[in-house]
Amino acid sequence: MPSDLLPTLERQLLELECLRSMYPFECSVDAAAESQARAFVDGALPLDTSRSLLSVAVSVAVGECGEVATLHCTLPTVYPETEPPALELSCAGLTPAAHAAVSAALCHAANEAVADGREALSDLCLIRGGFGVRLIWFHHIKSLTKRKAIVASARELRLAGFCKPGFPGLVCCEGDEEACASFVAAIRALRWQAAEP
């Protein structure tokens, strides 16, 4: 069972990093559970399944009065494969009816995300050989032909990411390490005024 948890815990840790990057000051994570999960993923320690629930809380000010809303999220060890996260919203400014409506919407979204996560997790299992991330800076990306080539190349190599056209231009991709290297080579083959990986 614990070896089956490796892909799910890897994804959970990636999602925590994503939350931290989006909410650097508003996000708090259970440090003990996170360090245990990281040690298991790195192969340093066995997983204690009785204590392996990762949890995170994100607090943000909402509304004109700056009322603080906190979303507590606890990830079961089998998330996102079979179970949705446990979500709890706390906000003193919400009426009971509004709280019930928001909580129901959160539960619905979490259940849908688990269904979507199964597909994404199978994609993650395909790239277990090595995970790569590339960020490429361009002086500019204006040409529609080049933008289409960037998207087509990323799709062909099954990479995720984004492209920011304009001045400066940015391309970020992530996925299989070899696919990332091939993507960068294909993009560099196009004519650019200036590009830096």
Over residues 109-129, the pLDDT tens digits come to 877 777 665 554 444 444 445
Angle among Cα 47, 16, 175 to the nearest 5 degrees reads: 95
Residue with tokens 């998330």: 79
CATH class of the region 131-196: alpha beta
- CATH 3.10.110.10 boundaries in the chain: 2-126
Answer yes or no: are the C-beta atoms of 136 and 162 closer than 8 Å. no
Q: How far apart are CA 34 and CA 54, in angstroms?
A: 6
Is the distance from CB of 161 to CB of 171 less than 8 angstroms? Answer: yes
Distance CA 30, CA 45 (A): 18
Written as one letter, the residue type at 18 is C
Contact in structure between 112 and 161 (CB atoms under 8 Å)? no
Q: Where in the chain is CATH 3.30.70.100? A: 131-196
Cα–Cα distances (Å) from 49 to 1, 41, 109, 155, in that order, read 10, 13, 26, 37
Task: Return the pLDDT at 128.
Answer: 46
CA distance to 88, 108, 118, 119, 191, per residue, from 115 (Å): 20, 11, 6, 7, 41
Q: pLDDT per residue over 43-68, tens digit each?
A: 877 766 655 578 888 888 876 777 88
Q: Would you state the CATH architecture of domain 2-126?
A: Roll (3.10)
Q: List, for residues 132-164, the tens digit of each pLDDT value.
A: 788 787 777 788 888 888 888 888 888 888 888
Q: What is the pLDDT of residue 5?
A: 75
Entry pTM: 0.53
User: Could you tell me the CA-to-CA distances from 40 to 43, 48, 100, 140 in Å, in that order?
Assistant: 5, 9, 37, 42
Instruction: Quickly count: other Cβ atoms within 10 Å of residue 151's Cβ.
Output: 13
Mean pLDDT of the chain: 78
